[in-house]
Structure 1
Amino acid sequence: MRQRVITAVVALVIFIPILYVGGIAVEIAAAVLAGIGVYELFRMKGLAILSFEGVLSILGAVFLVLPAERWMPFLSGNNSNFLLFYLTVMIILGFSVVSKNTYTIDEAGFPVITSLYVGVGFQNLVTARDSGLAILLFAFFVVWATDIGAYMVGRQIGKRKLWPEISPNKTIEGALGGIASAVVVAVIFFLVQPQVFQHNLVTMIIFTIVFSIVGQFGDLVESAIKRHYDVKDSGNILPGHGGILDRFDSMLFVFPMMHLLGVF
């Protein structure tokens, strides 16, 4: 527990100023986190990150994260980020030709989906911060409230397993407690900062329920990946907390959903 607290404090001391400054600082941080996330997935699968597919997968994620208009102004078009990502996909797929099909589309699927999964999630973190610090904090608070509420309620009254084949400790009662906690936090946030949102309170409560469910599902997805590769944590970069994906698994699902529903 002491190690977890120390790691959390150090991470917040580093992360909070970056979030406050925004702009390039957040973009660089998100790109670094995306690269580490790709590395963690390759590590779980037992692949070398310094392979051609590892490097291209990191590039693909970074291409998705960094706004092209700022980092690649020589490019034109609104879809530059996606097209640069697709360039890495084409190169990875092209290796099946160069290797005379010893490297197949099945093998190419892993680096592609890895960079897409991690890249789009952190891309939307950047977009959320560009919409304002309050929106970004709202997303974090909803995810944290869900995690804390699910843990506390599940520990006290949890009896019915939510998805034992994937995460045996999670319960239905805990999941509902997480949703309730997220709604309480969202209502408080809305009452304190109503000008931040483009929607009314009832709509935001409904959206928050969706975000909480989606966040918990993102957590289960990462649990399924770890169970598939038979690892406890995605990495060890955060002592006591695991890896970057262990900390951002819910947010990689919540940020895109928030963007889709027009919260930012």
Structure 2
Amino acid sequence: MIIRFYLLCLLINCVFGVFAWRKKKKEAVDRIITLTIVLHILCLVLWGGPYAFTLFTAVLLGLGVCEITRPVKEKSMPWIMIALVWGTVLFLHEPLLHYSIPLFLLTSVIAFAGKKEQVRSRYYLCGLILLVLVPCAVSLTAIYSMNCGWVIALVLLLQLNDGFGYHFGKSFGKTKIFKTISPNKSLEGYLFGLIGLVAGMVLLYSFIPVLQGCSPAKASLLAAYLFIFGNAGDLLFSAVKRKLEIKDFGHILPGHGGILDRFDNILFAAPVLYFMLQGW
């Protein structure tokens, strides 16, 4: 399954890479190169087993904390240690993860509705790290422990949604719908992203059979959920960036910015997906 996922994503990256190269979009080409490197790392981690994947999510969490604390000039290391300890507690005591979901959603809403001063405060920083980033990273690890195929499904669907939305939205997007939060997002981009997500669902029934045996109703619910929460995650961190008055969280990933700029939708979609899968 991992090999098929790798080959499929490599093919998709090649197609988007040619598309970007012909359109002479350097940023898009850089984006594809970065995605290809990340793909190799992710596949090695998936193949490496639970310990490797847990280490991977811990590194993502640590880098994410660094990116959040840097704009408000907080020392990163104490926050990283607190986040890792809290993440360990949540992972070992699963009921606490259940109770964190309402607070996770409330903290996310404040990013959109709160004033700039609130989002830049140390209190909100604490909430964003402990109530959003940590539950997201722990949920992703928990999903892998259930079945690594669901992590593959999550990544594939959201990357197809993101890839179609980005590349075709750049070319055909005219109707701007989030001018304040994310001015580059367009209605056309979201529609193309939805097409990419549906194509991913077909692939998960055929080439990478994660969804075999899953009813059409459940598959439709999964697609709708990922479309809403995946894009909401992207908008959430865009809203945080606007209120922190920064363009990118970092520069570690050319074409994307920081770790949170790349993994925002995957992380944000993980908590509720984890609880959905428990009911299946």
Aligned partner (choices 76, 80, 83) of residue 61 of structure 1: 83
Q: Which moved more, 1:240-249 or 1:137-146?
A: 240-249
Paired residues, number: 231
AA of the residue aligned to 1:61: A
Matched, 1:155 2:170: yes
Tell whether 2:215 aligns with 1:203: no
Q: Structure 2 vs 1, CA of residues 9 and 107 (structure 1 numbering), >3 Å: closer, same or farther?
A: closer
1:7 to 19, 26, 34: 34
Per the alignment, do residues 202 and 42 of structure 1 end up closer, same or farther by CA in structure 2, a change over 3 Å counting? Answer: same
Q: 1:19 aligned to 42, 46, 60, which one?
A: 46
* Of 190, 193, 206, the match for 1:175: 190
Q: Judge conservation of contact 1:217–1:250 (CA < 8 Å) in 2.
A: yes
**Which letter does structure 1 place at the counterpart of 2:84?**
V
CA 1:155–1:121: 2 relative to 1, 3 Å: same
Q: CA deviation at 1:160?
A: 1.6
Match of 2:60 among 21, 28, 33: 33
Whole-angstrom distance in 1 between the partners of 2:189 and 2:32: 23
Query: How far, CA to CA, are the matches of 1:112 and 1:213 in structure 2?
Result: 22
Structure 2 residue matching 1:175: 3-state secondary structure: helix
1:142 pairs with 2:157: yes
Q: Is the 8 A contact 1:157 1:173 kept in 2?
A: yes
Query: What are the within-5 Å matches in structure 2 for residues 1-264 of structure 1?
Result: 1=26, 3-50=30-77, 55=78, 57-66=79-88, 78-79=94-95, 107-194=122-209, 196=211, 199-262=214-277
Q: TM-score, normalised by structure 1?
A: 0.77
**1:6 positional shift:** 4.2
Give the C-alpha shift of residue 251 in structure 1. 1.0
Q: What is the CA–CA distance in structure 1 between the aligned matches of 2:40 and 2:201, rounded to whole Å?
A: 24
Query: How far did residue 115 of structure 1 move?
Result: 2.6
Name the residue aligned to 1:99: none
Residues 1-51 of structure 1, C-alpha deviation per residue, up to 9 Å, x if partnerless?
Answer: 46444433333333321111121111111111101101100012222224x
What letter corresponds to residue 49 of structure 1 in structure 2? S
3-state secondary structure, aligned to 2:185: strand
CA change 1:187–1:257 in 2 (3 A) is farther
Q: For residue 232 of structure 2, what is the amino acid of its counterpart?
A: F
Task: Describe the shift of the 1:67–1:248 C-alpha distance in structure 2 as closer, same or farther (beyond 3 A).
Answer: same
One-letter amino acid matched to 2:206: L
Q: Secondary structure of the residue that 1:168 maps to in structure 2?
A: coil
- Per-residue CA distance 1:176-206 (angstroms, 9 max, x = gap): 2212210221122123455656741232123
* Distance of 1:185 and 1:137 partners within structure 2: 11
CA contact (8 A) 1:60 1:116 kept: no
- Cα displacement (A) at 1:244: 0.7
Structure 2 unaligned residues grouped into runs of 5+? 1-25, 100-120
Which has the higher mean CA deviation after the structures are superposed, 123-132 or 216-225? 123-132
How far apart are the structure 2 equivalents of 1:189 and 1:18?
20
Structure-2 separation of matches of 1:67 and 1:22:
21
**Separation in structure 2 between the aligned mates of residue 3 and residue 190 of structure 1, nearest angstrom:** 31
- Aligned equivalents of 2:191, 2:265: Cα separation in 1: 16
Distance in 1, matches of 2:257 and 2:210, equals 36
Once the two structures are superposed, what CA deviation does each residue of 1:122-155 show, in whole Å capped at 9, x if it has no partner?
A: 1111112112222111000111011112123323
Give the TM-score normalised by the residue count of structure 2.
0.73
Higher helix share: 2
CA distance in 1, matches of 2:35, 2:72: 27
Q: Secondary structure at the match of 2:36?
A: helix
